[in-house]
Amino acid sequence: MDNFSLLTTPWLPVRFKDGSTGKLAPVDLADENVVDIAATRADLQGAAWQFLLGLLQCSIAPKRYKNWEDIWFDGLRADALHKALAPLEHAFQFGPESPSFMQDFEPLTGEKVSIASLLPETPGVQTTKFNKDHFIKRGVTERFCPHCAALALFSLQLNAPSGGKGYRTGLRGGGPLTTLVELQEYQGERQTPLWRKLWLNVMPQDTADLPLPDQCDAAIFPWLAAMRTSEQANAVTTPEQVNKLQAYWGMPRRIRLDFATLQSGCCDICGAESDELLGFMTVKNYGVNYDGWRHPLTPYRAPVKDQNAFFSVKPQPGGLIWRDWLGLSQNNQTEANYESPAQVVKVFNARSLTDVKAGIWGFGADFDNMKIRCWYEHHFPLLMTEGLIPDLRKATQTATRLLSLLRGALKEAWFTNAKDARGDFSFIDIDFWNLTQGRFLNLIHDLENGHKPDERLNKWQRELWLFTRRYFDDRVFTNPYESSDLKRIMTARKKYFTSSAEKQSAKAAKAKKQEAAE
């Protein structure tokens, strides 16, 4: 097959305003009828969004906020987009000839593997050797059309987990959390053009400190030249050594797809028929080893004890919970960490626009080293009133305290020696945060609409305390699989869930009973 352009060829799966689907060339992104990406996999959906955001940020990002606002109100002009993308044309060729998008500039002499290895859930060598691929079978996705191959390759380079000796993780570490500003409604209309949704996440050059380059070379797009390999432990690539826009195009893995061995049939990802199905690729270790980067689309944390050691936020078992929300939308501090939202959320251009309803869309994979455990995707509100942060922080602290109380109460109800109880109790935390999320969203709504903070926080504490006690009762009294030592259960319940008023009432009743006996 011949090289084709990822800018002018219709290859990205999209959904149109009338509900139909088709393919879009990025140069046609200004089409008002295109409303969303329509990938068949959640990880490829996220990759396609990041691909388009990277293109816009590297080609047509406005110099300052006023220019950003002009495009927001006047619309994205097709001719302006064509002109802006033209200098990038040479960097976005995909096919057998170098340079080819996201692939080694030079031929590789490494290991030949199935193209299925681009997908994170593909069973590894050890899994198949010992016949452990019980839930996710080998041989399910083995042939990709060129369009899906390009997107899967980009997704791997974005999210690359640890992959063995010398196989580098992504620029943000393995399996990072991506957070974008989500346009939920504009001028009362929920179905808005895709370009407008993307534009909320394009940052002015001056605010983001990401000026457009004079030339589009390997400093931004590393596949345009020989790779900065990392055989030596100190061979790292920092933002100071290249262009900071490379954050959107990190390339930690050395890969060359095999375009010589093609097959006919249906793509195992999108189902489309093709005579150019790809089945194999060559991989080699010691690709780019990124260090010291802050990706614009990812939140970060730094330990209170060492503020210089910042780490990208990654999805954990159970996914994102509303406890994490403050650190995703504003600078925040917990007992252990300083939390900083993604740069794109900090900048949030439309904060002053009155006809915009926006939220935060967070997504990413939870990895255990190179093994994917789960894909998570969450939608949270975006706080428009910064003055509410202290009150919401108090609400979070209240919830954390009650969760600790609940955990202790359940252990004492279930076990004779609660202090020595062993096992995975994370389900309590996951349940607690998920089941109280609706109440927290109601709290945000009430505070934003003028409710007195002190009164509303007192109500919040009462609601959460009653919920915690009810959850305890449900777990210990109605669960046939748990211990039912009623004496131990009631002792724990009395210790943790007897309110001051109830204690006083019980004390008065006891005194009254003693008086009657005398």
- pLDDT of 517 > 70? The answer is no
Q: How far apart are CA 379 and CA 320, in angstroms?
A: 9
Orientation of helix 453-477 relative to helix 389-414, angle to 10°: 20
Which is more confidently placed, 136 or 320? 320
DSSP string, 399-435: HHHHHHHHHHHHHHHH-SSGGG--S--HHHHHHHHHH
Q: How far apart are CA 96 and CA 513, in angstroms?
A: 91
Entry pTM: 0.90
The confidence score (pLDDT) of residue 478 equals 82
The confidence score (pLDDT) of residue 239 equals 97
Lowest mean pLDDT across 117-121, 281-285, 307-311: 307-311
Band the pLDDT of 139: cuts 50, 70, 90: low
Lowest mean pLDDT across 40-44, 56-60, 179-183, 185-189: 185-189
Cα Rg for the chain, rounded, in angstroms? 27
Band the pLDDT of 418: cuts 50, 70, 90: confident
Task: Give the β-pairing of 356-368 and 371-381.
Answer: antiparallel
Q: What is the token pair recorded at 254?
A: 């050395």
Q: Please give the order of strands across the beta sheet that includes 337-340.
A: 311-312, 300-303, 337-340, 332-333
Q: How many CB atoms lie within 10 A of CB 355?
A: 10
Closest CA to 9 of 24, 22, 20: 24
The confidence score (pLDDT) of residue 472 equals 95
Mean pLDDT value of segment 73-98: 97
Per residue in 263-274, pLDDT (tens digit) is: 999 999 999 999
The confidence score (pLDDT) of residue 384 equals 66
The confidence score (pLDDT) of residue 318 equals 84
The confidence score (pLDDT) of residue 33 equals 98
Q: Mind spelling out the 3-state secondary structure of 481-516?
A: CCCCCHHHHHHHHHHHHCCHHHHHHHHHHHHHHHHH
Across the chain, what does the average pLDDT equal? 91
Mean pLDDT value of segment 117-133: 68
Q: What is the token pair recorded at 453?
A: 């903070």
Lowest mean pLDDT across 9-13, 271-275, 448-452: 448-452
Lowest mean pLDDT across 124-138, 140-154, 475-489: 124-138
Q: How many CB atoms lie within 10 A of CB 82?
A: 14
The confidence score (pLDDT) of residue 505 equals 53
Q: Mind spelling out the 3-state secondary structure of 253-277?
A: CEEEECCCCEEEEECCCCCCEEEEE
The confidence score (pLDDT) of residue 485 equals 84
Q: Are the CB atoms for 153 and 118 separated by under 8 Å?
A: yes
Closest CA to 13 of 43, 31, 36: 36
The confidence score (pLDDT) of residue 518 equals 60
User: 52: alpha, beta or left, given left = phi > 0 and alpha = psi -120 to 50?
Assistant: alpha
With b for 16 or more beta-carbon neighbours within 10 A and e for fewer, the 9-31 pattern comes to bebbbbbbeeeeeeebbbbbbbb
Per residue in 351-388, pLDDT (tens digit) is: 788 889 999 999 999 998 878 889 999 998 887 677 88
Domains detected in the chain: 4-303 (no CATH), 385-518 (1.10.132)
Q: How far apart are CA 174 and CA 44, in angstroms?
A: 16
Lowest mean pLDDT across 18-32, 465-479, 481-495: 481-495
Residue 437, Cβ density class (10 Å: 0-12 exposed, 13-18 middle, ≥19 buried) = middle
Per residue in 149-208, pLDDT (tens digit) is: 999 999 999 999 988 889 999 999 999 999 999 999 999 999 999 999 999 999 999 999
Per residue in 288-316, pLDDT (tens digit) is: 999 999 999 999 999 998 878 899 999 98
Percent of the chain whose pLDDT exceeds 90: 73
